[in-house]
Structure 1
Amino acid sequence: MNSTSRGWAARLAATLGVVALSALTLVPTAQAADPTGNIDFGRTGSIIIHKSEQGGTGTGTPNGSQAPTANAVPGVVFTAYPITSLDLSVAASWNTLASLTVPSTACDVPSLAGQTLGTGIASAPTDANGLTTLSGRQVAAYLVCETSAPSTVVDKALPFVVTIPYPYQNDWLYNVNVYPKNGLATVTKSITAQTGLGLGSTVTFPVTSDIAKIDPSNNFAYYRVTDPMATELTSPAVASVALNDGGTITTVPSTYYTVSVNGQTAKVEFTSTGLAWLKTQGGKKIVTTFTGVVSTLPANGTISNTATLYANTRAAETPGTTSDAVTTHWGDLAITKHDAQARPLQGATFEVYPAAQPYAATCSATVATGATPISVSGATTFTSAASGNVTIPGLFVSDSVNAPINSAYRCYVIKEVAAPAGYVLPADAAAFTAVRVTAGQSTAADVTVTNTQQGVPQLPFTGAGSQVLMISVGGGLLLLAGVGAILVRRRHRGTAE
């Protein structure tokens, strides 16, 4: 944490635009200055806080003649602590204020060296326009601290001292406008279009996190990005860390960060060298690419994943900013194999291929593409059991990022490559069957494939039936031979007479 302190007068002058200071500038709404020359100690005033991001353009003036341009920050709470040891009716107190130093740590445990603070008064959270007001404040000097902020705030406003009334252009302002600034950082997570389609494939998650613009006097105390992966994703790893500068991607030197994996959580944490470099890259983005291997299939087929950014200019740990969840959907494929009489067949072997039209309106109309079958949990062939069933344990369906987003199904094509003994293996196009895979574990067959029994050559004649036929034919031939012999004998007798 930066421990630099500034004189009260210098800091206050900076807040009023005399010195351009990104941590705090003062800009009021338009108002008339008090017409009298003396302070009215019976009058109350207000501290009007306009909360905005670091950066922007322009500086503000306390009389509202100009205001800086920057994005508003809602949801921030400030607390004003009256400095009770300073009596603004005494000239010596103003002299003390002129030399007062306000260290950047003054709000860690609200205090100022040599001074006494009264009970703090908290503001309402800043609204959508970054505005909140501490009204009804008595004439006094106040230490103002940012005491609560959304997790996206990584660089809190530096503490500052303001007086009511505030001396400006030879008059007194009782309603003082201030513009403390924050460094903000958000984080988003995405999924790279899936190329591996079976269990055992790698899913890639690019995580984009902002590099906040921080006050020049501050430094990053820490900057880390974590990805706590679901149990269905094994071998969590970091594939790359890159800088995105308006669309130009460059690799971040590996000496700027460390990579660690603890259980299911992969983490990138920037080193002191990397933190110093990050300070020079405000407004750009870090892209940390995480990977995990899809190893098991949950019952509903959906694997959810988030990432968290932890970044701040203060050493004390604060809650990180977590991205929206992304999801990837997977489903198994249950095949039933039987014969023409619907009896189960064991020993039929299948391969599965991507469909040429993976999200066709009717999967039955699509065909296979590619010459290599999909590997699922290291296997490329799947054989039916005695029940006739075979399950391909997990195929990619869709995800929440790439079109068609969260599709309920994906088309695949199975090919029978070996038939059970005694059955015909389908050939050519008949070997392929288009199927529809939905997310989750199947409770019934997704597709049924029938095999035709093999034909055999005609059997030879054998057995008792053939013997009867042969006897009958043989007896007939003998009878004809006997009749013929009798006729020949009679003819011979007639000739002799």
Structure 2
Amino acid sequence: MRIVVAAAAALSLTLLTLWVGAAPSRADDGVPQIEPDAVTAIEIHKLRQPDSLLPAASGLPQDTSGMTPVAGATFTATRVPGIDLTTSAGQQTTAALTAERAGVLAAGAPAAARATTDSGGDASLSGLGVGVYLVREVATPAGYAPAVPFLVALPLTDPVTRDGWLYTVHVYPKNAYAGISLTDVDHDAVALGDAVAWRSLSGIPNAAVIDGYRLVERMDARLALLGNGPDDGAVSIRCDDSRARSACTQPIAGVDYTWVFDAATNELTVDFTPAGLAMLARAVALDPAAQVALAYRTTVTADGDLTTQSLLYASRAAIDGGAGAPAPVSDSATTRWGPLAIVVHERGNPQNLIAGATFRLYRTAADAASGSNPIVVGGSSEWTTDARGRIDVAGLRFSGFVDGLDRPSDDPLYRFYYAVPIAFPSGYTGSNATLRTIVESTTDAQVVTVEVWRTSGGGGLPVTGGRIPWAIGAIAVGAVGAGILLIVRRRDRRVRPEEPGRP
């Protein structure tokens, strides 16, 4: 009921001004005659629709402290032809006039004044004459639903003294606002093919009648929607007010909204049906902070800054577009993915790049230590260096950008990657220690450098300057022994005398 009253208040300006201004002006009733050549004005005070109602407009200035002004709304005032307010007949005609009928009568007539609200929400439709004016909002800021057209009779009877006229009338058209926010959840995603969850939360215009409501999700071409029907996502209404939560019903696909995915543009569109629009109006009547939640998931198909944009069209005018129509409000969220590289070369000889070394990647140090749950990218869980001694692994989620936020390295959601060698080519060996690394660029791979060294054969001890091969050692020992024997024999000959008959 509160919202119904709010809508009535938005329209009451027409009725109020007509009834106040419709009192016949005669010389014998004590009210001064209308000056037929008087210059009149309409002072617009554009405000965001509040949760509670203001006093009914009277044509006089009102206290709008604490209310939100709306800048950038353009209004026109068009005089309704054929009505002379200085006569009783003209005033009676005015009393029965509606904005819809006035629109027909004024069709094709030029606007008598045009103005756009400033930062304070104020605009002046000035330089007008005596008559009845149809006031229309012809340009609306993004996110707002346009105010309904209304009528102002100039002049109005002074509501305080009742014995004079207001040639400057103050009006307070309201705009119902609805914004939108988008978040992504990718902390569990690691490699290409993993799912990233997205959720938009959009406001509902605080109005009794909602004539249109559309949500559009524009996804990066490198994101693939998981499924393409409403069963693959979720549309719900969030009512946080405890009094409203139990009565806040949930929309049904095909009844309250339609779900259309365009593969050519990679856009998802959710449109509320008339039944769904009525549901939204009931929800915001129960809870002015009620929101529409749209959730869905995508997979990642390539590296890059992958951005999705959410757009809310919260009125029929916004959906239809055209000159002066309010632009949709929007928000965006991004998930970031990039490459990792491993380069293997001979120790002490960086130019000698080693092919045939095989590695695995892991999410955690514990997985790396146990050799369990390796990362799988494109169906592969092992990679081997090519002729350049290099492995390139594309499609890994950023280390320090998680769930749409930059994260320091000590944040629990910061992602390290762990590379572990599992095989070296014949003739080489190296350390099997786990190598921790990160991903921080969408284009330039973070390079992990690994050194290997030669062995004496198919995987024997490494050849280093501190070790002598056993064959060389044996030869050396034999040579020393032979030398000692020769010296002993020569010494023996010098010490002992020669035997007779021995040469």
TM-score, L = length of structure 2: 0.73
* Alignment check: 8 A CA contact 2:186 2:195 kept: no
* Alignment check: 8 A CA contact 2:182 2:199 kept: yes
> What pairs with 1:183-332 in structure 2 (closer than 5 Å)?
183-214=176-207, 216=208, 218-220=209-211, 222-235=212-225, 239-246=233-240, 252-254=251-253, 255-263=255-263, 264-282=266-284, 283=288, 284-297=290-303, 301-314=304-317, 317-318=320-321, 320-332=327-339
* Alignment check: 8 A CA contact 2:17 2:151 kept: no
* Alignment check: 8 A CA contact 2:181 2:200 kept: yes
Cα 1:15/1:182, change in 2 over 3 Å: farther
Cα 1:390/1:75, change in 2 over 3 Å: same
* Alignment check: 8 A CA contact 1:74 1:127 kept: yes
* Alignment check: 8 A CA contact 1:308 1:320 kept: no
CA drift at 1:39: 1.1
Structure 1 equivalent of residue 23 of structure 2: none
1:333 paired residue among 340, 343, 368? 340
> What pairs with 1:41-440 in structure 2 (closer than 5 Å)?
41-55=36-50, 56-62=52-58, 64=60, 66-67=62-63, 70-103=67-100, 110-112=103-105, 118-154=109-145, 156-169=146-159, 170=162, 171-214=164-207, 216=208, 218-220=209-211, 222-235=212-225, 239-246=233-240, 252-254=251-253, 255-263=255-263, 264-282=266-284, 283=288, 284-297=290-303, 301-314=304-317, 317-318=320-321, 320-340=327-347, 341-342=349-350, 343-354=352-363, 371-397=372-398, 398=401, 401-404=404-407, 411-424=416-429, 426-427=431-432, 431-440=433-442
| Counterpart Cα distance in 2 of 1:122 and 1:369 | 78
| Counterpart Cα distance in 2 of 1:394 and 1:353 | 14
CA drift at 1:12: 3.0
Cα 1:244/1:405, change in 2 over 3 Å: farther
Cα 1:95/1:16, change in 2 over 3 Å: closer
* Alignment check: 8 A CA contact 1:311 1:320 kept: no
CA drift at 1:92: 0.7
CA drift at 1:390: 0.3
| Counterpart Cα distance in 2 of 1:331 and 1:86 | 70
CA drift at 1:193: 4.4
| Counterpart Cα distance in 2 of 1:280 and 1:195 | 37
* Alignment check: 8 A CA contact 2:187 2:403 kept: no
CA drift at 1:356: 6.9
CA drift at 1:132: 0.9
Please give the secondary structure, in 2, of the residue aligned with 1:88. coil
Cα-to-partner distance string for 1:396-432 (whole Å, 9 max, x where unaligned): 111583242999x9642211122223333634xxx21
Letter in 2 for 1:48: E
Structure 1 equivalent of residue 5 of structure 2: none
CA drift at 1:71: 2.9
Structure 2 equivalent of residue 26 of structure 1: none
* Alignment check: 8 A CA contact 2:75 2:136 kept: yes
Cα-to-partner distance string for 1:295-353 (whole Å, 9 max, x where unaligned): 112xxx32222111123145971265142333222221111112223322222221223
* Alignment check: 8 A CA contact 2:49 2:175 kept: yes
| Counterpart Cα distance in 2 of 1:302 and 1:327 | 6
| Counterpart Cα distance in 1 of 2:295 and 2:309 | 12
* Alignment check: 8 A CA contact 2:99 2:151 kept: yes
Cα 1:121/1:197, change in 2 over 3 Å: farther
Cα-to-partner distance string for 1:371-415 (whole Å, 9 max, x where unaligned): 5222323322221112210011122111583242999x9642211
| Counterpart Cα distance in 2 of 1:46 and 1:135 | 4
Cα-to-partner distance string for 1:147-201 (whole Å, 9 max, x where unaligned): 11123123x2222111111124323111111111222222222222421122222
* Alignment check: 8 A CA contact 2:113 2:127 kept: no
| Counterpart Cα distance in 1 of 2:19 and 2:455 | 94
| Counterpart Cα distance in 2 of 1:224 and 1:348 | 54
| Counterpart Cα distance in 2 of 1:209 and 1:335 | 44
Letter in 1 for 2:274: S
Structure 2 equivalent of residue 360 of structure 1: none
Cα 1:17/1:379, change in 2 over 3 Å: farther
TM-score, L = length of structure 1: 0.74
> What pairs with 1:442-453 in structure 2 (closer than 5 Å)?
442=444, 446-453=447-454
Cα 1:223/1:17, change in 2 over 3 Å: farther
| Counterpart Cα distance in 1 of 2:330 and 2:359 | 41
Q: Aligned residues, how many?
A: 426
Please give the secondary structure, in 2, of the residue aligned with 1:276. helix
Cα 1:322/1:88, change in 2 over 3 Å: closer
Please give the secondary structure, in 2, of the residue aligned with 1:96. helix
Judge which range, 337-346 or 9-18, deviates more.
9-18
* Alignment check: 8 A CA contact 1:259 1:269 kept: yes
CA drift at 1:78: 0.9
Q: Which 5+ residue runs of structure 2 have no aligned equivalent? A: 1-7, 21-29, 462-468
Please give the secondary structure, in 2, of the residue aligned with 1:92. helix
* Alignment check: 8 A CA contact 1:417 1:425 kept: no
* Alignment check: 8 A CA contact 2:13 2:171 kept: no
Judge which range, 301-310 or 451-460, deviates more.
451-460
| Counterpart Cα distance in 1 of 2:429 and 2:438 | 25
| Counterpart Cα distance in 1 of 2:19 and 2:424 | 85
Structure 2 equivalent of residue 30 of structure 1: none
Cα 1:418/1:356, change in 2 over 3 Å: closer
| Counterpart Cα distance in 1 of 2:107 and 2:394 | 70
Please give the secondary structure, in 2, of the residue aligned with 1:372. coil
| Counterpart Cα distance in 1 of 2:189 and 2:319 | 42
> What pairs with 1:483-494 in structure 2 (closer than 5 Å)?
none
